[in-house]
Structure 1
Amino acid sequence: MSRGTDGVLVLRGRGIVPGCVRGEALVSHETISGWGGIDPATGRIIERRHELYDVCFTGKILVFPGAKGSSGWSGFFQATRLLGTAPRAMVFTHLTTKAALGAIVTRVPAVTDLDDDPLARITTGDWVEVDADRGLVSVLSRL
Structure 2
Amino acid sequence: MQEMEIKLRGRGLVRGIVEGEALVSSQPISFLGGVDPATGIIKERGHELEGYTVTDKVLVFPHSKGSTVSSYVLFSMARRGTKPLGIVNTVSDPIVAAGCVLGNIPLLDKLEIDPTKAIITGDYLTLNATEGFLVIRRSQISNVW
1:126 aligns with 2:144: no
Please state whether the residue corresponding to 2:23 is helix, strand or coil: strand
Paired with 1:82 and 1:125, the residues of 2 have a C-alpha distance of: 25
Report the alpha carbon displacement of residue 66 of structure 1 after superposing the two structures with TM: 1.5
Residue 75 (structure 1) aligned to one of 68, 72, 76: 72
For this pair of structures, how many residues does the alignment match?
A: 138
RMSD: 1.4
1:63 aligns with 2:60: yes
Unaligned runs of 5+ in 1: 1-5
Contact 1:11 1:115 in 2 (8 A): yes
Residue 19 (structure 2) aligned to one of 22, 26, 31: 22
Structure 1 runs of 4+ with >4 Å offset:
none
What does the per-residue CA deviation read over 1:18-43, in whole Å, with 9 as the maximum and x for residues that have no partner? 11111000001111011111100000
User: How high is the TM-score relative to the length of structure 2?
Assistant: 0.90
Give the aligned partner of residue 99 of structure 2: 102
Contact 2:9 2:112 in 1 (8 A): yes
Q: Percent identity?
A: 41
Contact 1:89 1:109 in 2 (8 A): yes
Paired with 1:31 and 1:22, the residues of 2 have a C-alpha distance of: 22
User: How high is the TM-score relative to the length of structure 1?
Assistant: 0.92
Paired with 2:4 and 2:38, the residues of 1 have a C-alpha distance of: 39
What does the per-residue CA deviation read over 1:29-62, in whole Å, with 9 as the maximum and x for residues that have no partner? 1110111111000000111121101110100000
Please state whether the residue corresponding to 1:47 is helix, strand or coil: coil
Residue 33 (structure 1) aligned to one of 13, 16, 30: 30
Report the alpha carbon displacement of residue 69 of structure 1 after superposing the two structures with TM: 0.2
Unaligned runs of 5+ in 2: 141-145
